[in-house]
Amino acid sequence: MGKRGREALGQVPLFSHLSPRHLRRLADSTNEVRYMPGASIVKEGEPGDRFYVIVEGQAKVLNRAGKVVNRLLPGDFFGEISLLDGGARTATVVSETPMTMLELTRSAFRKVLAEEPGVAVKLLEYAAAMLRRLERPVRG
């Protein structure tokens, strides 16, 4: 995906603080995947090992009751929690239109982290900043 892949990953908050070189390395580790309308991309409760960035198309996010709780459009992403911890999916995502996405597998991501320690450091700094924001006392 080249430049388009780097730009798409650079818009993801988890990766937005990475250098252009590190974004290129991550983008080179992605695959372009396509889904037809009605395809289940991920299912709540199933093990997760892939992260997605939507390049083209639209998907819906369903709760356990099958109710639509969100819609995802180009530039949106999902699967970052499973990418980091390999745990179960927290939602179901179904394509509503033909879709093109960048897919980053957990194994490819872990390989980048092993080969590029600077990426791991930036991700830890991002995670620490998120925790700090969550721990700030609410002032009224």
CATH number of the domain that residue 40 is part of: 2.60.120.10
In a domain, 11, yes or no: yes
pLDDT tens, residue by residue, 35-78: 999 999 999 999 889 999 999 999 999 988 889 999 999 999 99
Question: Which residue range is the domain that position 41 belongs to?
Answer: 2-135
Reported as half-sphere exposure (CB side, CA atoms, 13 A), residue 19 has a value of 9
In a domain, 29, yes or no: yes
Number of domains composing the chain: 1
CA distance 100 to 25: 20
Query: Is the pTM value of this prediction over 0.75?
Result: yes
Instruction: Determine the pLDDT at residue 17.
Output: 87
In a domain, 140, yes or no: no
In a domain, 28, yes or no: yes
